[in-house]
Amino acid sequence: MAFRRDPSARAIKELVEGMTTRTDVRVTPGSQVFGLVLGSTTESTTVIDLASHAIMRWRIPWPAGVTSDLTLFDVVEGTLADDPERDDLAQPEAVTLGELPRRLGTYRGRRVRSWLETLATPGDGPLFGFRGPSAPYWEFRGERPSVALVAPDQGPQLMRRFDDGSTWVRFGWIGDDIWLLCEDQHAIRTIEATRRNTLSGKDLATALGFRPAYVLVTLSAPIDGHTYKSCTGLLPRG
């Protein structure tokens, strides 16, 4: 019904659902690409590529001092750079945009729910093939993903460390108790607003405005020779 009442929402629905589906990801320099935002930091924005329904990471040339203003389930349009820089073996899904993307609107619903279920990371081993928070950058060969969409067995729980101001996400997955630095700005602002040091269960769902069903985990660019796991999004079921 919302699509019928709102012309802009109807236009986004028609754009997304009318898009020609591809089996491959478009990586030709200068190509126009469309994505559904799952999480965004100044380092990279994780999207579902709307043509192939694969997960991609966009490196966006944000101006110095400007943080990402893209939010969950935004539909965005971008243009690949003349050199998409697809040579990072630790982030094989990453491509570089030539300019800032254009936000077209938001899109939610059953299709998004289905995409997320399909893209969820299988519980067949530790995240990214290694335990612990980091791994040496030189160990990556481009055969492992740098994005995991995790459906936790327990949690998630959001925690605030008042000594250093950092926010962390804790959750259980295939027997592991996982703690990750949180870079999801909505989650960070949420726990800051509550002035509490922990949020979980119904309290977390109420504060976020949705029940978190997925934790988006990404690998960072190398820092002192290591790449680190972090939470870049808490997502509803769709």
Average pLDDT over residues 51-80: 97
Is a pLDDT exceeding 60 seen at residue 3?
no
Number of helices (H) and strands (E) in the chain: give both, helices first: 5, 14
User: Which pLDDT score, from 0 to 100, does residue 186 have?
Assistant: 97
DSSP state of 164: T
How does the average pLDDT of the chain come out, rounded? 95
**Where do you find CATH 2.40.50.140 in the chain?**
2-107
pTM: 0.95
Model pLDDT for residues 118-170, shown as the tens digit of each residue: 999 999 899 999 999 999 999 999 999 999 999 999 999 999 998 899 999 99
* Angle between helical axes of 201-208 and 185-194 (0-180°, round to 10): 110
- Determine the residue type at 218: T
Model pLDDT for residues 42-56, shown as the tens digit of each residue: 999 999 999 999 999
DSSP string of 54-123, one letter each residue:
-EEEEE--PPTTPPP---TTEEEEEEB-SS-----TT-TTEEEBSS--EEEEE--SHHHHHHHHHHSPPS
Q: HSE-up of 229 (CA within 13 Å, CB side)?
A: 24
Model pLDDT for residues 192-211, shown as the tens digit of each residue: 999 999 999 999 999 999 99
Is a pLDDT exceeding 80 seen at residue 5?
no
User: Which pLDDT score, from 0 to 100, does residue 1 have?
Assistant: 47
User: Which pLDDT score, from 0 to 100, does residue 4 have?
Assistant: 56
User: Which pLDDT score, from 0 to 100, does residue 224 have?
Assistant: 96
Q: Which CATH number fits domain 2-107: 2.40.50.140, 3.40.50.740, 1.20.200.10, 3.40.50.261?
A: 2.40.50.140
Is a pLDDT exceeding 50 seen at residue 183?
yes
Q: Which residues pair with 199 in a beta bridge?
A: 158
Give the Cα separation of 19 and 95 in Å (integer).
21
DSSP state of 182: B
